[in-house]
Each structure stands twice: as structure tokens, then as C-alpha cells.
Structure 1
């Protein structure tokens, strides 16, 4: 992959990616068929770049765009129930300018935090295939390389993101421990000067079953922000 000199250059390349035929077909089909509630809207229907300041000291790693969320709006976690949970918590702890995220241009700004994903296209059934995760790993590697000078903490939402992140960190040059740390909610792991914070994914299922609560998300975000020097 090309070496990018800026995140803006990387983002511009990400949105033109067509490396995974299954994901390309799915994201574009969803953008045409749409959900009834959004029938009058124009879907993004492309890979979704990272979101947040390019000199962030904290990152949030999710899984992939949702079909009718970021695949519709073009911005990570925007326009879906998972994002509603996450942005409310980010706002409460002082990392987002507002508690809701509905569309690009809605005024939302993140403070010291950048959102990234191991997979940049919406996958069918929210389950990317191993080769798709591998292909997208190159984008994550490039983004983390550009963030490396300022990055001090990463909140990882869910086991998938944790498993996808560790080999990428090793590839970028961070000293990942062996054996690799295991995911768990509230788990913290140091990778050189970088600290990872595990958090259950902010999915509807986890929230509705109370496996994950608002206060639990806020606690993890606050700890990661403190480690990143944002408080």
C-alpha cells in the first residue's frame, strides 16, 4: 500500500476502495434499497473514513459501519443506536461537543479523540470475512502510523476490534506483549507507551440486556481520556 503523508490523504483514498467484492456489492445494494425510514435520503454507500482530530491522543476502535448508520451518513457511528449510546457517553465525559450524531454537518466535534474501524465497509449481518478484515487492516495500519506521534490510549469496543487491533499494532511497531492480552470489559493493557482499554461493544443487544450500561461506558472513556492527558 502507498505510504500516506497525512490523514486527509489517507481518508481520500479510503473512500475510493473497492478491494472486497462482497462488501462493495452489499454496501451499494443497501444504498439503493434503503430502509423505509430513510427512503428519502441519499445513502453514502462507500467505505467510511475515520472521524476526529488528526492529532488525537485517544482513539476508539469499533468493528465496522452499520448498513443503515455510517453506510448511510458517511461518518463513523453516526445515525444508528450504537452511536446514540457512544456519543451520549462521549459528551457526558467531555469528549464530544454534543450528545447526538445524526448526519455529517450536524455540528458534532470530537475533542482529542479519533474514531477508527478495522473494517471500513458495512458487512452483511455485521460479520466481515477474514480476508475482508485482512484487506482493511492495511488502512488501520496506515491510520495508526499517522496517529502514532500523539496517540496515548485506545478504547476498543468488543472482542472483534481487540483481535483485529493487536496484530496491526505489532505491524506498526508497538511492542505487543506475548502472550497477547485477552479482551474483557475493563481490561487495560500496556503496549509500550500506548494503553489499551477494553469495553463491551455499544450494540443494542449489549445495552438492552444490561451487559453494558451508560455508566460503564463513561468509566472506560474517562480512564482512557485521563491516560491520554485529555483531563
Structure 2
């Protein structure tokens, strides 16, 4: 079990009407009224618990996962992520940016540090802390977990707190790899449109992170 203690029986995913973060509940209610055909609920993890690789993002996007109900599905970040997963064999099928496109994950799983969409895509620290038990429960049910890709500094920081690792010993940096017991942590800039449009992250840089993961997992 990871370092932070949670109550026995904590679910890996919040319920559809999770009440834990009042600001996020208010925003969810607003979005349900504005876009009643959207998913508009905490977005569950995607992929099976037997995977060796876990990918951790920040939170669902309003026009992406919050609308479709599948992590990184419906916005540009998903285009780059799923293309990369398909390239390295961590996914099979065809990505059409819809939850019914038939794409499946292979030896990989995707989740978010915060499961509900936050206003301006910026969760508050208290919301990240409140949602952390669901991340812990997700990791706890993955007996084969060996590699964790952290998309962005927030995912990196929350994972260090989850594992009880001091930030000074594992600074964030794109392409950085940190040992964390039976896991390795792989840092990447978030695959957002902003980061790619500004050149902070290129597809080649992003693929290099997953190439390292693939190589390390193959070594056993």
C-alpha cells in the first residue's frame, strides 16, 4: 500500500454526485444545466487494474473528459496522448475522441489527480488533497504497477505527497525519472494544446518519455 493511509473500502472512483468539494459540486451543477447531454460527473479511471503503467493527469477538461466521460477524450491533449499510447503498444484500436470508439488500453491505465472538472481547469490545493484517496485506492488495486507517468507538475507533486517522498529529492523536470520503491516515476510536461502550441512540449519530447517507459518495462 502507498504511504498515505485511507479508510478501508475506499472506492477507486467517486460516485456520480460526490459531495466532497463544494466548489466543484457547484461547477458540476452549472455544467449539467448548461450542457445536459454531457457526462458532467467525476470521471473514472480508464484501463484495467492489472496494468503495469499508470498515467496520471491533472483533472478532466470541460470540453474533453467532463463531456465524454473518458479521461483525455474529446480535446487536443487526448489526441497526442492516445496517439502516443497506440504507437508504443499501450493501446489498441482506433482513437476517434469518443468513449464508444472501441479503443482499449494494453498494460496501461489512465486517471487524474482530481476527478471532477474544475473552473478554468485549475483545481485548488484543498481539492487535490480531498481527491487523493481515490488516487491511492486506484494504485492500491494495481498489483503489477511498475511505472507511473506524471503529466505536469501538479500530478508530480500530488504523487510525491501520496508516496511520502520529499520534493527536494525528486524535482520535477520533463524526462526526469525517479525511483519510488517498486515504482518508477516518469515526469512529462502536460500534453495540453497550450504546451504544444508554445513549443514547451513537442510530440517527439512526449514520445521519448513513453519510449523510456517501454524500454524499462521490457527489462522487467
Q: Does the Cα contact within 8 Å between 1:57 and 1:113 map onto a contact in 2?
A: yes
1:80 positional shift: 0.8
**SS of aligned partner of 1:131:** helix
User: Structure 1 residues 138-147 or 56-65, which shifts more?
Assistant: 138-147
Q: Figure out how many residues of one structure are paired with residues of the other and give that number.
A: 215
- What is the match of residue 50 of structure 1? 45
Q: Does the Cα contact within 8 Å between 1:186 and 1:199 map onto a contact in 2?
A: yes
Selected match of 2:101 from 103, 106, 110:
106
Question: Equivalents in 1 of 2:167, 2:87: separation in Å?
Answer: 36
User: Structure 2: which 5+ residue stretches go unaligned?
Assistant: 1-5
Does the alignment pair 1:33 with 2:34? yes
Question: Equivalents in 2 of 1:135, 1:25: separation in Å?
Answer: 16
Question: Equivalents in 2 of 1:203, 1:178: separation in Å?
Answer: 24
Alignment of 1:100-139 (within 5 A): 100-139=95-134
Question: Equivalents in 2 of 1:25, 1:223: separation in Å?
Answer: 41
Shift in CA distance, 82/145, structure 1 to aligned 2, threshold 3 Å: same
Does the alignment pair 1:182 with 2:177? no
**SS of aligned partner of 2:196:** helix
Q: Does the Cα contact within 8 Å between 2:152 and 2:188 map onto a contact in 1?
A: yes
Give the RMSD, CA atoms, in angstroms.
Answer: 2.0
Question: Equivalents in 1 of 2:126, 2:83: separation in Å?
Answer: 33
**SS of aligned partner of 2:179:** strand
User: Structure 1: which 5+ residue stretches go unaligned?
Assistant: 35-40, 171-175
